[in-house]
Amino acid sequence: MKAENAQSREKPPPARVVIKLGTGVLTRGIGELDTERIASVCSQVAALRAAGTEVFLVSSGSVALGMGRLGLSRRPSDVVKKQACAAIGQGLLMQMWQSHFTPHGITVAQVLLTHEDLRSRDRHLAVKATLESLIAYGVVPVINENDTVSAAEIEALLRFGDNDTLSAMVASLVHAQHLFILSTAPGLIDLDGTGEIVPFVAKITPEVEAMARGTTSETAVGGMVSKLSAAKLALRAGCGVFIASGAEPDIVARLLRGEAPGTFFAPSGPTLEAKKRWLLHFQRPSGTLHINDCAVPVLRDQGRSLLSVGITHASGKFEAGDIVNVAAPDGTLIARGKATYSASEIPTIAGLKSADVKARYPDRRHHEVIHRNDLAVFEN
């Protein structure tokens, strides 16, 4: 089946796209580059740029290339060994990209990121400014997770977990029109039904999510589960998402024309503003504010601030200014935002009216526990 999408032959090319390339697209087995396919990708990027589209690449492959140089047949489970593989492979990966882009007169730039680079608001904006500057110079940014610096004890806090998630974050950050997630997967397959590729997804429902599977590859991370999670993130930014096989010839242009196999996920509903996306998708919350039943529709349906009267208690350790989750009485996460009060202060104000909170903390600038400008609500 061919992927259905919102593009037509008459429409102009997208202004900006992110292309994520999985390890299986770039290599033949462990550590052996598929030079023909890489050359094809570079030709496709050059054609996009010639048509006026700005392109960001998110490239996997550094760990696999490092494994090849070290003669390893399995992805190391030890964090330090994975870091060593990434350190060796990163240089090889960038050499590969530049050598294949040089015939097209294109310069590439390496951009290595950790989750902390996008979680911190100042660093988040600095990364965006750097990427915009590179594009303005006519450079193709090649983005990857900075596996070499995430120490074992903080890995869980700093890692994106996979480059699918990173690519969606980049698409959101740079306001891309489309995200192409290219791997060995030909698209979302209805494994328990028709057994065929699902060409078009209007909304990612629980039924759609049930179609996803993980990965058993020795060099890959994630599988279709991570791809759907990434798609949901990008869709909230108004970015259409293609999931398709990077082995297909001229895959990007054919997807845009609706002539290639794959799955297109259409953005729907209102697009979140940049700050709300940063709150929802770029954070690792420090704790949770638990609210009563009355406060749920106030946040979810009315878009108002979270007041102390709606809070029952807090969990976790957080300070004023930290990002926290907001949970309904049944534990469902309904929102995320920047707390005005610390976890230790919440018991002193939970259930109180705002006037009482103001009397207790007269020097506090804001008496909302989370102001609506610093609050983002998850989709139902």
Annotated binding-site ranges = 20, 60, 147, 163
The SS3 assignment for 350 reads coil
**Dihedral in degrees, nearest 10, Cα atoms 31, 225, 324, 372:** 120
Identity of the residue numbered 155: E
Which neighbouring-strand residues pair with 16?
54
Annotated binding-site ranges for ATP = 20
Nearest-angstrom CA–CA distance, 244 and 247: 9
Nearest-angstrom CA–CA distance, 377 and 122: 22
Tell me which residue of 309, 263, 311 sits closest to 287, measured CA to CA. 311
The SS3 assignment for 304 reads coil
Tell me which residue of 175, 34, 363, 321 sits closest to 42, measured CA to CA. 34
CA of 259: how far to CAs of 39, 199, 248, 305, 317, in Å? 21, 11, 11, 47, 51
Nearest-angstrom CA–CA distance, 180 and 262: 10
DSSP states along 157-210: HH--SSHHHHHHHHHHHHT-SEEEEEES--S-B-TTTT-SB--EESS--HHHHT
Assess contact for 95 and 125: CB atoms under 8 A: no
Annotated binding-site ranges for substrate = 60, 147, 163
Residue 8 CB contacts under 8 Å (≥ 6 apart), including other chains: 258
Tell me which residue of 58, 74, 57 sits closest to 66, measured CA to CA. 74
Q: Which two tokens stand for residue 294?
A: 């009355």
Nearest-angstrom CA–CA distance, 224 and 262: 13
